[in-house]
Amino acid sequence: MPEPSVLVVFLDGVGLGEADAHNPLSETYLPAFEQMVDGQPWTADAAPVRGEMHLFRPIDATLGKDGLPQSGTGQATLFTGTNCAKIVGHHFGPFPHSETKPVLETENVFRKVKALRADDDGTESAAFANAYPPRFFSHAEEQDRWTVTTLCCRMANVRLRTEDDLRAGRALPADLTGTAWREHLGCDVPVISEAEAGQRLAAVSREHAFTLFEYYLTDKVGHGRLADRSAGDVLRSLDRFFEGLLDTLDTERQLLIVTSDHGNVEDLSVKTHTLAPVPLVAYGRGADRFHSVHDLTGVTPAARKTLAHSG
């Protein structure tokens, strides 16, 4: 049997909220989203799903701390399995808090995967599929300010993919299509459809034991910071991406995990994050290993267990 792989699609700022007029997840036709939840819209009313190859449940993102959850501590928790809001004493973000850096250094998911599956000659066991423009590297280095995921990559020696990777089809643009690279960054990269981006991610994931892709326009549009696209537009675009991904995914071999760090876009009546639980989808081989995950701390340990038991 071929080696299994875990693919995490991390969506920033997607909670499970009430199905009402303020919730674009219930107000928009999103067939691929619904396919991942047994035909139900992604809301607080969705019934949990539990099968050997398919799981869906709401998980807690508040981490036992008052106040609105933030990305710095939420993502650090998600990608280490350690409650980083507890370490800091409160929610913090969007960038990683200095007190969580030792935990990120030793516990981050990329490092854990590499400890299980050493990189062989020419292969990388862990991958971060997002492509970053030259401007990102110069800015981050100048300010010495990295996001949780890019910091984890640097700490684990996981390559940050570049414009060259994007051109070669080895990485995905953050907006899925590459339009923003052309319009806002002035980079002459090819534009692809969202479905092609989904197919590309499935292909990248087959090359690695663990792959992460991060999508943050859901959070941005929830904060009201996207000038030219509505939340419905963003979710429909993401739905086409999931359709391409689900069509191409080999669920006998690949396990897709979809989750988030905190709520936001599911309630457009406020521009802030929310206290809503976030979705946890596990789709494919090993999905049932995620049935005991109840909050953000459980995702990385379950991913690790999946790879440890099936290697």
| Contacts to Zn ion by CB under 5 A | 219
Of 214 and 219, nearer to Zn ion (C-beta) is 219
Q: How far is the CB of 194 from Zn ion (least distance, A)?
A: 22
Q: Is 99 exposed, middle or buried (0-12, 13-18, 19+ CB in 10 A)?
A: middle
Rg (alpha carbons) of the chain, rounded to whole number = 18
Q: How far is the CB of 94 from Zn ion (least distance, A)?
A: 6
Q: What is the 3-state secondary structure (H, E, C) of 266-301?
A: CCCCCCCCECCCEEEEEEECCHHHHCCCCEHHHHHH
CB of 5 closer than 8 Å to CB of 205: yes
Q: Which residue is nearest to Zn ion (CB)?
A: 219
Of 76 and 195, nearer to Zn ion (C-beta) is 76
Of 12 and 107, nearer to Zn ion (C-beta) is 12
CA atoms within 13 Å, Cβ hemisphere of 3: 14
Q: Name the 3-class secondary structure at 68.
A: coil
Q: How far is the CB of 154 from Zn ion (least distance, A)?
A: 22
Of 114 and 262, nearer to Zn ion (C-beta) is 262
Q: How far is the CB of 16 from Zn ion (least distance, A)?
A: 17
Q: Name the 3-class secondary structure at 75.
A: helix
Of 194 and 219, nearer to Zn ion (C-beta) is 219
Q: How far is the CB of 219 from Zn ion (least distance, A)?
A: 4
